[in-house]
Amino acid sequence: MMKILLILIATACCLSAEISSDVVDKDKTLTKIAFGACNKPSRKKVTRIYDGVLKHNPDVFVFLGDNIYGDTEDMELLKKRYQQLAAAKGYQKLQKQTQVLATWDDHDYGVNDGAKDYPKREQSQQVFLDFFAEPEDSVRRTRPGIHTSYSFGKDGKKVQIILLDTRYFRDKLEYSKTKNKPSKTKNKPSKGKVGWYEPTKDTSMTLLGDAQWQWLEQQLQVKADVRIIASSIQMLAYEKGMENWGNVPHEQQRLFEMLKKHKANHTVVISGDVHYTELSKVMIGDYPLYDMTSSGMTHCSKNWANADNSLRVGKSHWEINAGLIEIDWAKKSLSLCSINQDGKKLIEHPVAFSELEFSK
Ligand SMILES: [Fe+2]
C-alpha cells in the first residue's frame, strides 16, 4: 500500500514539474536581441559591425556560428584563433556592453561543412565552452553537443532563445549529382544556384541527432511569449545547394510538425552561414514561419546573395551586417531586422504577435 502511495506521489510530482529552459533569468526583460555570424577576427573591418550593433543597445548578442575561422584538428591552433577574437576591440566592447550567447557552425566547430565524423568534436566543444566562459556547472559541459536554451523575463514578457547544434550529430550531406564538389564550384553560381548539395531521400539521415531532438521537443513546450530558434545554417531557403535544412527535408518537416503539435506560437528562426542577409518565410498551414538570416560580420558574397530563394521576403543585401529583433511588448509585435556597420536598417519587417499563431 505504502509502495503504491509513493508511486502516486512521484507521478504527481513529475506531472506537475514544469519544463524549463536550461538557463532562466526572470529579472531581465528583452526588447532587443542582436545576432551575427561569419566573423573573421583577423579582418581589418572587424570592429565596425560591432559599432553598428552597439548603437542599438541590444540586451543580448547571439553569435550564430563561424564566429572564428578555426578549420583545424589542432586544438592549440583553434585556441589561438579564438584569442584573435578575444583581442578584437569591437568584441571587447560588445562583451562589456551586453550579454553574449553563442552556438557554432562549421568553421569554429573545426572543419568546412563539418559533420559528426570530425574527429576532434569532443575537444572542440571544450575549447568553445571555455572561450565563451560557460560556467563550470553548466549542463552544456555534461552532454555531447553545445545546444542549449535560455528564458529571459517574467510571464507576459518571456523570451526563450533556443540555440541549436547543427554540427555535432549531423550526418554528411549528399553532394549534388549535377554539380561538382565545393572546391570546383566555389563562388561560381550558375543559373541562380551556388552548388553543391541536394536534398536527400534517405530518411535515416539526421541533422540534429536523437538526443537533441528529444531535448528540443521538451524545449518547445516551455512557456514563452516570444520564442527564437537559432540555427547556424538557414532553415528555410533551400534552392541554392548550400548547407541548409532543406538538404535533409524529413528533419525540416519534423521540426515544422513539432511546432504545430505544440502550438509553438510567436516562434521565429534566426540563421547565418551564407555571407549575406535576407528574410525568408514559409507557411506551415496557416502559420507564417520566418527565418531572419544575417551573415557576414566581416565578409560578404554578392554572388551568393543573388542565388535563388523563392521564399525570400523583399531583397537580399551583401553589405557587412548583423541581425536584430526588436520587441514592442506594449503593441504586442516584433520586428525582424538586419543592420549595417552604421547601424542603419537594411531589412525591417514588423510582425504582430497575432499573426504568429497556429489556429488548429
Ligand atoms: Fe558555415
Using a 10 angstrom Cβ sphere, with 0-12 exposed, 13-18 middle and 19 or more buried, the burial of residue 44 is exposed
Tell me whether strands 60-63 and 32-36 are parallel, antiparallel or unpaired.
parallel
| pLDDT tens-digit map of 197-235 | 989 999 999 999 999 999 999 999 999 999 999 999 999
Between the CA of 65 and the centroid of ligand 1 the distance, in Å, is: 7
β-bridge partners, 63: 36, 102
Between the CA of 343 and the centroid of ligand 1 the distance, in Å, is: 24
Between the CA of 305 and the centroid of ligand 1 the distance, in Å, is: 15
- Residue matched to cell numbers 531535448: 215
Between the CA of 67 and the centroid of ligand 1 the distance, in Å, is: 9
Neighbours of ion ligand 1 (CB under 5 A): 66, 105-106, 273
- Give percent above pLDDT 70 in the chain: 90
The DSSP secondary structure of 192-243, one letter per residue, reads TB--SB-----TT--SS-HHHHHHHHHHTTS--SEEEEEESSBSS--TT-SS
Q: What is the 3-state secondary structure (H, E, C) of 88-106?
A: CHHHHHHHHHCEEEECCCH
Query: What pTM, to 2 d.p., does this model score?
Result: 0.93
| pLDDT tens-digit map of 238-254 | 999 899 999 999 999 99
For the chain, domain boundaries: 21-355
DSSP 295: -
Which region, left, alpha or beta, applies to residue 285 given φ > 0 means left and ψ of -120 to 50 means alpha? left
Q: Collapse the DSSP code of 123 into the 3-class scheme (helix H, G, I; strand E, B; otherwise coil) and give the result.
A: helix
Question: Would you state the pLDDT for residue 188?
Answer: 56
Between the CA of 289 and the centroid of ligand 1 the distance, in Å, is: 22
Class of domain 21-355: alpha beta
Between the CA of 348 and the centroid of ligand 1 the distance, in Å, is: 24
Between the CA of 68 and the centroid of ligand 1 the distance, in Å, is: 10
